Amino acid sequence: MTNDIIVVKGLVKNYKNVKAVKDITFSVKEGELFAFLGENGAGKSTTINVLCQVLNKTSGKVIIDGFDIDKDSLEVKKRIGIVFQGTVLDNILTVKENLISRCAYYGMNHKMAMNRVNELVKPLSLEKLLKRKYQTLSGGERRRVDIARALINKPRILFLDEPTTGLDPKTRKIVWDIISNLRKEINLTVFLTTHYMEECNEADNVIILDSGNIVAEGTPNNLKNLYSSNKLLWYTNDSIDNQGYTF
**Between 15 and 196, whose beta carbon lies closer to ligand ADP?**
15
Least Å from the CB of residue 42 to ligand ADP: 4
Which residue of 6, 26, 37, 38 would you call a contact of ligand ADP, by CB under 6 A? 38
Comparison of 36 and 134: residue with beta carbon closer to ligand ADP: 36
Alpha helices in the chain (DSSP H): 44-51, 73-79, 95-105, 110-121, 139-151, 169-186, 220-227
By the 8 A CB rule, do 214 and 207 touch? yes
Residue 241, C-beta contacts closer than 8 angstroms, at least 6 positions apart: none
User: Which CB, 40 or 246, lies closer to ligand ADP?
Assistant: 40
42 binds ligand ADP (CB under 6 A): yes
- Give the up-direction half-sphere exposure of residue 121: CA atoms within 13 A in the CB hemisphere: 15
Single residue of 32, 33, 46, 116 touching ligand ADP by CB under 6 A = 46
Which of 41, 60, 139, 218 touches ligand ADP (CB under 6 A)?
A: 41
- Least distance from C-beta 198 to ligand ADP, angstroms? 18
208 by DSSP, 3-state: which?
A: strand
> Counting contacts by CB under 6 A, is residue 40 touching ligand ADP?
yes
Among positions 1-30, residues that touch ligand ADP (CB under 6 A) are: 15, 18, 20
Residues near ligand ADP (CB under 6 A): 15, 18, 20, 38, 40-46
